[in-house]
Amino acid sequence: MEPETSWIHDWNEAGPVLPRIRRKVELNDETLRDGLQCPSVRDPALEDKLRLLHLMDELGIVTADVGLPGAGPRAVDSVDALVGEIVAAKLRIRPNCAARTHKNDIAPVLRLSQRHGVPIEAYLFLGSSPIRQYVEGWDLDRLLEISGNAIALAAGEGLPVAFVTEDTTRSDPATLRPLYLNAIEKGARRICLCDTVGHACPAGVSNLVRFVHGVIAESGEAIALDWHGHSDRGLSLTNALAAIEEGVNRIHGTALGVGERVGNTPMDQLLVNLRLFGVIDNDLSALRDYVELAERALGAPRPYNYPMFGSDAFRTATGVHAAAIIKAREKGDDWLADRVYSSVPAGWLGRTQDIEIGPMSGASNVKYWLKQHGEDDGPTTVDAVFRAAKGSDHVLSVEEITDVVRRTGSGA
Q: For the domain that residue 275 is a member of, what is the CATH number?
A: 3.20.20.70
User: Is 31 among the domain residues?
Assistant: yes
Per-residue pLDDT tens for 228-277? Answer: 999 999 999 999 999 999 999 999 999 999 999 999 999 999 999 999 99
User: Is 87 among the domain residues?
Assistant: yes
pLDDT at 1: 47
pLDDT at 5: 59
pLDDT at 17: 65
Q: Are residues 241 and 109 in the same domain?
A: yes
User: Is 403 among the domain residues?
Assistant: yes
User: Is 3 among the domain residues?
Assistant: no
Q: Are residues 319 and 221 in the same domain?
A: no
Q: Are residues 216 and 149 in the same domain?
A: yes
Sign (positive or negative) of CA dihedral 169, 172, 175, 177: positive
pLDDT at 12: 76
Task: Please state the domain count of the chain.
Answer: 2
User: Is 55 among the domain residues?
Assistant: yes
Q: How far apart are CA 278 and CA 263, in angstroms?
A: 26
pLDDT at 141: 97
What's the length of the chain? 412
pLDDT at 189: 98
Residue 201's domain comprises 15-298
Q: Are residues 291 and 319 in the same domain?
A: no
Low-confidence ranges of the chain (pLDDT < 70): 1-6, 17-20, 410-412
Burial of 145 (0-12, 13-18, 19+ CB in 10 A): middle
Cβ contacts of 169 within 8 Å, gap of 6 or more = 193, 194, 195, 196, 199, 200, 204, 205, 208
Q: Are residues 238 and 381 in the same domain?
A: no
Q: Are residues 122 and 198 in the same domain?
A: yes
User: Is 398 among the domain residues?
Assistant: yes
User: Is 310 among the domain residues?
Assistant: no
User: Is 306 among the domain residues?
Assistant: no
Q: Are residues 214 and 122 in the same domain?
A: yes
Q: How far apart are CA 349 and CA 42, in angstroms?
A: 26
Q: Are residues 37 and 145 in the same domain?
A: yes
- Domain-terminating residue out of 271, 298, 325: 298
Q: Are residues 282 and 167 in the same domain?
A: yes
Q: Are residues 144 and 177 in the same domain?
A: yes
